[in-house]
């Protein structure tokens, strides 16, 4: 129960940060964020529709797609994020914090990246192209932020053409690039590590590890000094899941020897969450 409440709080906090990025930095200078939010901003600049309304409407088909492909927990948190972001965009007043367009693009991009990143860290997303990015990274080993930058570039090209002002388009591109980099710094599920665990509580530890779920290899070892036979468990996981793995090991076998090494790449079967 506490975990669910904490996740909901983090999602709502991330939504508030994203809305601040929009209303305090991007919208006053007619800058774009990219993706679904960028489409929402672009439509609102050239029509009577509000940003919040378009943000909600465009996200609906993305959330439906994600519901069937990414799992109910992920999409439930994403739905909460979209609803909360829509509400915050509607209630936070639009005002100019930075008069310089470059500063506005930088700080707007940082805030949007932080807001989206914290949503990813607890297992959700801010909706929109984040869902498409998550679908791609589930089957291909690419950073989420880099994927979003590529998709968002299309929105920027449309903005430059429609506005006939490439200064705004270029500043928006800088904002989106910064958003992607901040997102990758926070959401690190594409970074892999290999964990070697030497334990005397093999079966208890295995039962817990296989619940994550991750593939685990059991290797028979022998102490060079004591000549005592022991088991070594090897598994590959992500830095995002590493904290959960450490907690499992400490509870199952506090005396276990654990060696964690960075993994350059993974071939073959590797389950992505």
pLDDT tens-digit series, residues 96-131: 999 999 999 999 999 998 988 888 777 666 666 666
Tell me how far apart the alpha carbons of residues 161 and 155 are, in angstroms, rounded to a whole number: 10
- Residue pair 65/107 in contact (Cβ under 8 Å)? The answer is no
Report residue 268's pLDDT band, with 50, 70 and 90 as the boundaries: low
Mean pLDDT value of segment 5-19: 90
The closest alpha carbon to 137, from 120, 157, 116, 112, belongs to: 120
For the chain, give the percent of residues with pLDDT over 90: 16
pLDDT of residue 270: 53
Helices and strands, counts by H and E, the chain: 10, 4
Which residue from 33, 122, 115, 48 is spatially nearest to 82, judged by alpha carbons? Answer: 115
**Residue 92 banded pLDDT, cuts 50, 70, 90:** very high
Give CA–CA dist 266/191, Å, rounded: 10
Mean pLDDT calculated for residue range 10-33: 92
Residue with tokens 């109910």: 72
Strand partners, 196: 234, 259
How sure is the predictor about 63, in pLDDT bands with cuts at 50, 70 and 90?
Answer: confident
Provide the token pair at 52.
């919040």
Token output for 265: 């790449």
Range of 46-60, 115-129, 233-247 with top mean pLDDT: 46-60
CA angle at 239 for the pair 235 and 245, rounded to the nearest 5°: 50
Distance CA 10, CA 48 (A): 32
* Tokens standing for residue 184: 């990758």
Q: Identify which has the larger pLDDT, 258 or 89.
A: 89
Residue 43 pLDDT more than 70? yes
Q: Residues 204-221: what's their mean pLDDT? A: 77
H runs (alpha helix) in 22-128: 35-45, 51-69, 72-91, 101-121
The whole-angstrom distance between residue 77's C-alpha and the CA centroid of its chain comes to 12
Task: Specify the pLDDT at position 237.
Answer: 78
Between the ranges 44-53, 196-205, 236-245, where is the mean pLDDT highest?
44-53
Strongest mean pLDDT among 150-164, 214-228, 247-261 = 247-261
Contact of 18 with 36, CB cutoff 8 Å: no
């Amino acid at each position: 129960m506490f975990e669910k409440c904490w996740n909901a709080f983090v999602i709502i906090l991330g939504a508030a940060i994203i809305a601040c990025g929009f209303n305090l930095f991007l919208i006053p200078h007619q800058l774009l964020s990219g993706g679904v939010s960028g489409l929402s901003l672009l439509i609102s600049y050239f029509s009577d529709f509000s940003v919040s309304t378009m943000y909600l409407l465009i996200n609906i088909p993305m959330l439906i797609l994600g519901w069937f492909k990414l799992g109910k927990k992920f999409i439930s948190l994403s739905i909460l994020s979209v609803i909360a972001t829509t509400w915050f965009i509607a209630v936070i007043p639009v005002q100019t914090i930075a008069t310089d367009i470059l500063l506005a693009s930088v700080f707007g991009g940082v805030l949007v990246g932080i807001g989206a990143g914290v949503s990813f860290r607890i297992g959700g997303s801010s909706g929109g192209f984040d869902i498409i990015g998550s679908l791609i990274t589930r089957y291909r080993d690419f950073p989420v932020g880099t994927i979003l930058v590529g998709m968002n570039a299309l929105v920027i090209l449309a903005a430059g053409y429609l506005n006939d002002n490439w200064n705004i388009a270029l500043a928006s591109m800088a904002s989106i690039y910064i958003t992607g980099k901040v997102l990758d710094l926070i959401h690190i599920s594409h970074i892999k590590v290999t964990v070697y665990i030497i334990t005397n509580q093999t079966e208890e530890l295995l039962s817990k590890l296989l619940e994550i779920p991750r593939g685990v290899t059991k290797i028979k070892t022998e102490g060079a000094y004591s000549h005592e036979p022991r088991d070594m468990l090897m598994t590959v996981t992500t830095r995002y899941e590493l904290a959960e793995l450490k907690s499992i090991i400490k509870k199952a076998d506090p005396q276990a020897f654990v060696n964690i090494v960075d993994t350059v790449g993974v071939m073959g079967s590797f389950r992505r969450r």
